[in-house]
Amino acid sequence: MSAPDPRLSINQATIRRADLRTALDVTRGAGVEAIGLWREPVNAVGLATATSMLADSGLRFTTHCRGGFFTVPDGDARRAAMDDNRAAIEETAALAAAGAPGSTAVLVLVAGGLPAGSRDISGARERVRDAIADLAPSAAAAGVTLAIEPLHPMYATDRCVVSTLGQALDIAADFDAAVVGAAVDTFHIFWDPDVLTQIARAGRDGRIATFQVCDWKTPLPADVLLSRHYPGEGVIDLAGLASAVVATGYEGDIEVEIFNAEIWADSPENVVQRTVDAFTAAVSPSLRRIPSGK
Amino acid sequence: MSAPDPRLSINQATIRRADLRTALDVTRGAGVEAIGLWREPVNAVGLATATSMLADSGLRFTTHCRGGFFTVPDGDARRAAMDDNRAAIEETAALAAAGAPGSTAVLVLVAGGLPAGSRDISGARERVRDAIADLAPSAAAAGVTLAIEPLHPMYATDRCVVSTLGQALDIAADFDAAVVGAAVDTFHIFWDPDVLTQIARAGRDGRIATFQVCDWKTPLPADVLLSRHYPGEGVIDLAGLASAVVATGYEGDIEVEIFNAEIWADSPENVVQRTVDAFTAAVSPSLRRIPSGK
């Protein structure tokens, strides 16, 4: 058992069974300073109550999860998706304002997969770019940063057509870095031969909107969505990736977001403490940025 | 039921339960002109018998599957792996010589994953490059082309640290194109935002050592190794990818290689006929190269 790293943020998905009240209490109770929230538990209590609960908790707010799912072609479904994303932007701004100093107004965007019956992944990717262009003015007005999250290519067709950090940065490059960045999640990008180059690029361009860590190991479970593990329990070179992120000058909070049926079956208290311990062992040693000498 | 496309080659893994005799008979019986073989069934009858059976079949030989698995660090295991790869090179040359005119001496290489206990994917990738350098003289002497096969990133840690076509081509670039090329397999690379650029590069550099098609759909089965489908039964833009390969001037045979428990449970005769039909419907229309006008 260790004291929490001050940069650790618990992403609420890691304690998925917990409602907002429980998630805030357990996170704060463990001495963790920050939390990333999900829309469903926030909306279950209503935004006004959620912001009030968050303010009372004294926790920093790090990300709102999530918007996106806008690869459908033009029509009612796309309009509904865009309206929902604009609502998510407003929620993000309100939550960030309610969080403790150092909170960040970041909305994570998972693009969505191929529309039913489509094989046109290039077309779907173009619609992501169009959707970001559509949302950027609302995000800018609200002071929210949209974090395009590349997901592992095994999710490319059914969940997220944005598959690499380079691809996310290519989309983001059309926009102000304060408005559109990328989510850097070790699980999704560690395999990429180009990952260190793209992390450096993301940092240089000011596009690391959030940094998330968890681990990968095989065999994958039957539901590959649930294949994320505590940091250090798999084979990702977390030290190398965290060092690369820190080397860019990233000084923000770092979320642990885990989807895993066994972890979800554990109590939120246990999960948060295990996350604290795993983070301290596998990530914290890499966070000491070497001074530049100036 | 359709007449087989003259460029279709049945990769023996598609009819995995069939021994070599059956595989040759069923493939020929369906009117297919070419076959790709696997080492285990070849070695089950012995190389001399296998070459004789292949010669009698009148089939073209397209690839030998497979070498590789050389990411282990220096030591006995690595030496054994390299010896085994040299044996595979000799088998490939013998089989190609025994096949009908138009046979190709191509050995497919699956690099291997992370060694047990390792998190050093960059190091494993460097060992792939070293292993290719080690094998290239033997391949050149035998007249064999080594086809580095990038596998889908979901296999990056337990099966193949080569995850993109670009990465395979970067390794191949150090060698003569007649000796080291890449395997272009739709299943493994379709998701890559850079796939069309890399196919064009592979063709321009003469590095398309083999072209393999099958399809992807979700949800993935519990064993993600077995998630390959008949062409046209999934969501890959096979027409787009096949057109891109053909546009480079690739005129070789095209293998269908499917790992799928349900397909393996079917009779080899049914599987070959279904493959013939699927290929004709989903791939053949894209193989007519538009003349350049010269």
**172-191 in chain A: CB under 8 A from chain B:** 190-191
Q: Does A157 touch chain B (CB under 8 A)?
A: yes
Which of A85, A129, A126 has the alpha carbon at shortest distance from A108? Answer: A85
Chain B residues whose CB is inside 8 A of the A166 CB are 193
Query: pLDDT tens for residues A144-195?
Result: 999 999 999 999 999 999 999 999 999 999 999 999 999 999 999 999 999 9
- Using an 8 Å CB-CB cutoff, list chain A residues near B224: 154, 220, 224
Question: What pLDDT was estimated at residue B3?
Answer: 86
Residue with tokens 């190269």: B289
CB A187 within 8 A of CB A221: no
Domains and CATH numbers, chain B: 8-286 (3.20.20.150)
> Is B261 an 8 Å CB contact of chain A?
no
The rounded distance, in Å, linking the Cα atoms of A149 and A129 is 13
- Which of these ranges, A82-86, A110-114, B77-81, B154-158, has the smallest mean pLDDT? B77-81
Q: Report how far apart the first and last C-alpha atoms of chain B are (Å, whole number).
A: 37
Task: Tell me which of A148, A152, A157 to substitute to probe the interface with B (most B C-beta atoms closer than 10 Å).
Answer: A157
Q: Which residue of A has its CA nearest to B193?
A: A167
Tokens for A98? 């309610």
A200-245 pLDDT per residue, tens: 999 999 999 999 999 999 999 999 999 999 999 999 999 999 999 9
Give chain A positions within 8 Å (CB) of B236. Answer: 119
Q: What is the pLDDT of residue B74?
A: 84
The answer to whether the beta carbons of residues B85 and B51 sit under 8 Å apart is no
**Interface probe with B: pick from A224, A225, A238, A286, most Cβ of B within 10 Å:** A224
Instruction: Indicate if the pLDDT at residue B84 is higher than 70.
Output: yes
Q: Which residue of A has its CA nearest to B168?
A: A193
Based on the number of CB atoms within 10 Å of its own CB, is A224 exposed (0-12), middle (13-18) or buried (19 or more)? buried
Are the CB atoms for A68 and A112 separated by under 8 Å? yes
Determine the Cα–Cα distance for residues A222 and B162; give it in Å rounded to an integer.
24
Out of B119, B191, B222, the one facing A156 most closely (by C-beta) is: B191
Contact (Cβ atoms closer than 8 angstroms) between residue B97 and residue B51: yes
**Which of B157, B191, B237 faces A163 most closely, judged by CB atoms?**
B191
What pLDDT, in 10s, does the model give residues B23-75? 999 999 999 999 999 999 999 999 999 999 999 999 999 999 999 998 988 89
Question: What's residue A294's pLDDT?
Answer: 40
Judged by a CB distance cut-off of 8 A, whether residue A125 touches chain B is yes
Q: Which residues of B touch A170 (CB under 8 A)?
A: 193
pLDDT of A293 > 70? The answer is no
pLDDT tens per residue, range B267-284: 999 999 999 999 999 999
Higher pLDDT, A3 or B254: B254
Q: What is the pLDDT of residues A18-53, one digit of tens each?
A: 999 999 999 999 999 999 999 999 999 999 999 999
**Interface test with chain A among B224, B225, B286, by most A beta carbons within 10 Å:** B224
**Does position B291 have pLDDT exceeding 70, yes or no?**
no
Q: What is the DSSP string of chain B?
A: --PPPTTEEEEGGGGTTS-HHHHHHHHHHTT--EEEEEHHHHHHH-HHHHHHHHHHHTPEEEEEEEEE---SPSSHHHHHHHHHHHHHHHHHHHHHHHSPTT---EEEEE-B-PPTT---HHHHHHHHHHHHHHHHHHHHHHT-EEEE----GGGTTTTBS--SHHHHHHHHTTS-TTTEEEEEEHHHHTT-TTHHHHHHHHHHTT-EEEEEE-EE-SSPPSSGGG-EE-TTSSS--HHHHHHHHHHTT--S-EEE----HHHHHS-HHHHHHHHHHHHHHHTGGG--PPP---
CB B139 within 8 A of CB B89: yes
The pLDDT value given to residue A72: 87
Q: Do B158 and A219 touch (CB under 8 A)?
A: yes
Please give the DSSP secondary-structure letter assigned to residue A236. -
HSE at residue A256, side-chain half, CA atoms within 13 A, is: 33
pLDDT tens profile A109-144: 999 999 999 999 999 999 999 999 999 999 999 999
Q: Which residues contact A32 (CB under 8 A, 6 or more apart)?
A: A4, A8, A9, A10, A59, A272, A276
ipTM confidence score = 0.95
pLDDT score at B290: 58
